[in-house]
Amino acid sequence: MATDYYAVLGVRRDASQDEIKKAFRRLARELHPDVNPDPKTQERFKEINAAYEVLSDPNKRQVYDLGGDPLSATGAGGAGGFGQGAGFGFSDIMDAFFGAAGGQRGPRSRTRRGQDAMIRIDIDLEEAAFGTTKDIQVDTAVRCNTCNGEGAAPGTSAQTCDMCRGRGEISQVTRSFLGQVMTSRPCPQCQGFGTVVPTPCPECAGDGRVRARRTLTVKIPAGVDTGTRIQLAGEGEIGPGGGQAGDLYVEISENPHQIFQRRGDDLHCTVTLPMTAASLGTKVPLETLDGMAEIDIRPGTQSGQSIPLHGRGITHLRGGGRGDLIVHVEVLTPGKLDPEQEELMRRLAKLRGEERPSGQFAPGQQGLFSRLKDAFNGR
Ligand SMILES: [Zn+2]
Ligand SMILES: [Zn+2]
């Protein structure tokens, strides 16, 4: 991401909506083109608008925090390009100058887009590796059938508000630091709708929506991980007044696996080997996500070495192909020797000149770093 929106507004990444709004208002006053027409300032003014558009909208902010670009037309959330955003910014600039409810003209529609909804589901590692489908229960607002979403009781209809004569707003002249300005506020009788509903629908109390439980089948692609969100367009809450439905986001939570630990699209596991097998070399059968595989233990394998099985990990979410399964070897030192085994061990130690070894420092770093190196170099 090229622009750091938090830095543009000068707020911390965990700033509250209130802090973001305050920072934006302060900057908007300072940098507004009417106050400060210098082209550089105007460029900065556009920047703070873009930053505010993203950070003031919890959905866009989340997309941005996850590394997406919520202002691009194709970005998740799909809220349109910058042109639309600039309009949004404008009414908020009016807010910054005149307090809430400036900028809007005419009655507002009773129809609004519904809210997005989110639901979390648990899946197993195997399901994440190869993809799956899940039935989920969602409990959201749906259109009220009694009033067909319009909010008026059957046989009645909304009527023009007599206080604002259907304009939805009441105008007045106020003084501001720019001089006398005509401002308007929403009509208190109709809340700015321009119409009143004398007899609300008894089923939905005039909201146009009722809650209902539905079952949806969700296709979960291979390669998802904890935190991955799948967007189901139009499956969120229906809007007030029968407005367009929001989107439903399904957030994945992956259950830990008993054997395999996932890091990115690679899987890691540990196998234990007797010292003799590690020294002499052997073949070991191993259960993988694709069934049984055989791993080749070369003679002289050390504890901590790792053996990658290419393409036996998780499917990449984008671009196809799969990660690796990395098998870490742990060599077991034999204990509880019987007299014959002890005799053999002593003989072996003598033959190898290891009867009185001095403690040698191992070269380089041990542990995770060398194991990672092994993984890259193919052990
Ligand atoms: Zn209704
Ligand atoms: Zn009114």
337-349, pLDDT tens digit by residue?
999 999 999 999 9
CA of 154 to the centre of ligand 1 (A): 8
Q: Ligand 2 centroid vs 170 CA: distance in angstroms?
A: 8
Ligand (nearest to CA of 149)? 1
Residue pair 208/109 in contact (Cβ under 8 Å)? The answer is no
Which DSSP letter does residue 356 get?
S
Q: How far is the CA of 104 from the centre of ligand 1 (A)?
A: 28
Cβ-in-10-Å burial (0-12, 13-18, 19+) of 237 comes to buried
What is residue 368's predicted lDDT score, i.e. its pLDDT?
59
From the CA of 238, how far away is ligand 1's center (Å)?
A: 13
What is the CA(185)–ligand 1 centre distance, in A? Answer: 28
Q: What ligand has the least distance to the C-alpha of 153?
A: 1
Tell me if 54 sits within 8 A of 70, measured CB to CB: yes
Please give the pLDDT value at position 81. Answer: 34
User: Does the predicted TM-score (pTM) go above 0.85?
Assistant: no
Handedness of CA 148, 149, 154, 156 (dihedral sign): negative
Give residue 344's pLDDT: 95
Burial per residue of 241-259, b for 16 or more beta-carbon CB atoms within 10 angstroms, e otherwise? bbbebbbbbbebebeebee
Q: Measured in angstroms, how far is the CA atom of residue 136 from the centroid of ligand 1?
A: 26
Q: Is-contact 83 37, C-beta < 8 A?
A: no
Ligand nearest to the Cα of 194, by number = 2
- Ion ligand 2, residue ranges at CB < 5 A: 161, 163-164, 187, 189-190
Contact by Cβ (8 Å): 11, 20: yes
The Cα-based distances of 118 to 56, 114, 235, 366 in angstroms read 19, 13, 10, 44
Name every residue whose Cβ is closer than 8 Å to that of residue 124 and which is 6 or more positions away in sequence.
254, 255, 257
- The kind and range of the H/E element at 25 are helix 17-31
Q: What is the DSSP string of 154-221?
A: TT---EE-TTTTTS-EEEEEEEETTEEEEEEEE-TTTTTSSEE-SSB-TTTTTSSEEEEEEEEEEEE-
- How close is the Cα of 158 to the center of ligand 2, in Å? 12
Task: List pLDDT tens digits, range 245-255.
Answer: 999 999 999 99
pLDDT at 174: 75
Q: What is the pLDDT of residues 126-157, one digit of tens each?
A: 999 999 999 999 998 999 999 988 899 999 99
Ligand 2: distance of its center to the CA of 91 in Å? Answer: 21
Strand partners of residue 132: 220
Q: How far apart are the C-alpha atoms of 77 and 91, rounded to whole Å? A: 21
> Which residues of the chain are modeled with pLDDT < 50?
1, 73-96, 98-103
Cα of 115 vs centre of ligand 1, distance in Å, is: 18
Ligand nearest to the CA of 199: 1
Q: Which residues pair with 214 in a beta bridge?
A: 138
User: Given this model, what pLDDT does residue 247 score?
Assistant: 94
pLDDT of residue 224: 95
The pLDDT of residue 77 is 38
